[in-house]
Every structure is written in C-alpha cells, then in structure tokens.
Amino acid sequence: MDLLTVIGLLLGWMAILVGAKLEGLRLDSLLKLSAFCIVGVGTFAAACTGFTMKQLRGFPEALKKCFSPGKQKAADIIPIITGYAKKARHSGLLILEPELKTQKDMFFRKSLQLFIDGNSIDDVRNIMESELFIWEEQEKIYEKFMRAMGGFSPTLGIIGTVMGLIHVMGNLGEPDKIATGIATAFIATFYGVSFANLIFLPLAAKLKARREEALLIKEMILAGVLSIGSGDSSLIVMEKLCTYLNEEDRDRIMAKKNY
C-alpha cells in the first residue's frame, strides 16, 4: 500500500475534525445524511454525465493505483532490457522469442514481437508511439473525472445549503429552531468543500503522478527495444536507459556496468 496517500487523506480529515473539536463543536453535529446524499451522490452523478461508460470502465482499477505502489520500477527494468540486448546482439532477435512468454508487460511484449516479426525500426516506433498516445489519453480521462468531481462538489454543497435555508425560511414561526436549522444547512457546504479538497482533488493529483510514472517507464521500454532493434551493444543500451533515471538510481546502475 502507498502509505503516503493514506497518511495524506487521514491527516487532512484529522486536521479538520481536531480543529472542529478545539472550537467546541460536537463532531456528531457534522453528520447529516441528507447533506451527504446531495453532495456525495449528486457530485458523482454530475461528473458521470460528462463521460461515457466505456471511458470509465477502467476507473475502479485506476483508483486502486492511488493506494498501491507502482508494480514496475524503472531501475529494475534496465537489467532485463540490457540482458535482451546482449542475447540479440550475439544470436539475433529470434533468440528473444521464448522471452516473450515470461514477459508480463503487454507494451514490452508487443514492441519486442514487432521486431521479431521483421518490422522496421520506423514501423515499430510509429506503432508503439501511437499505442502509447492512446494509452495516455485513456489514463488522462480518469484524472479528468476525478477533477470534475472536485469541481462539482463545492457547487453541490452550495445547493444543499440553499435547500436547507429554504427549509429554515419556511419555519420562521419557530424562532428557537432557526439557529439550529441554519447551522445544519451549512453542513452541505462543509461537505462539498471538504470532499473536493481532501478527497477528489488530491486523488486526481495522485492519478496524474501514477500516469506520469507509468509513462516514463513505457517510454524507457520503447527506447530500449528500439536500441535493441538497431543492434546496439548492451552497454550502449544501458547508457541510453540510464538517462531516464534519477541521479541516485543512475549512479547505482552505472557503478555496476556488468551488462
């Protein structure tokens, strides 16, 4: 589990609740089912309206990535690619065909398969760059959906507050209930702003970070496969791929130089 995501979400809500307690508010006074329905369900419904079912089919799986560490690390892929480069340089690209059965990354497998099937470097580059573009556009949709929820949430909170105030204005004949009614009405605004800034927008930022991390790895894989297809030595492949790493990982990989 990605502890930073969990800690960030929990710490944000704890700050709100502790602050409310220090102000002397009863925490149960912040619980209002009607406000939750208006803001929570209304926000989700409004955001869904702007997208199609096909676009959001993979959203639950994408959301899981916010709470789990990346399955692939850029530094861990370099030994695999350089190993392929060494085999291909000594025995030809066909020697890599058995490796495809053990390669779980579909992007990696497809790009290698295209070379093994005899396609040119330009063809492989064009095909895989197109696939990369389509993948990235789909991943951006999940981020856009979460940002849409972050945009609608405060507005739905205001709607809930207005509805509460309408109810209060309809009971002006009972002055003792007006103060309580107004306080209850503003809970919807509290939900709307809190959900947007403590859930939806932070998770949208995390989705963006996960997308950029995965994109860097895919670009690195493509650069490595193209280098293999060009007949580069494993050392040259390693040098190229190390440019995608941060300084710490780059120094660690370059210190070995046994590929």
Q: Residue ranges of the domains in the chain? A: 1-31, 32-259
Highest average pLDDT, of 80-94, 188-202, 224-238, comes from 188-202
What's the pLDDT band for 115 if we cut at 50, 70, 90?
confident
From 244, 241, 214, select the one nearest 79 (Cα to Cα).
Answer: 241
- Mean pLDDT in residue range 18-45: 86
What's the pLDDT band for 4 if we cut at 50, 70, 90?
confident
- Mean pLDDT in residue range 229-241: 87
Q: How many C-beta neighbours within 10 Å does residue 50 have?
A: 11
183 phi and psi angles, rounded to 5 deg: -60, -40
pLDDT digits (tens, 9 = 90+) for 129-165: 999 999 999 999 999 999 999 999 999 999 989 988 8
Please determine, for residue 204, whether its predicted confidence score (pLDDT) is greater than 90.
yes
CA distance 16 to 199: 13
Alpha helices in 170-198 (DSSP H): 178-185, 187-195
CA distance 229 to 121: 7
**What's the whole-model pTM score?**
0.85
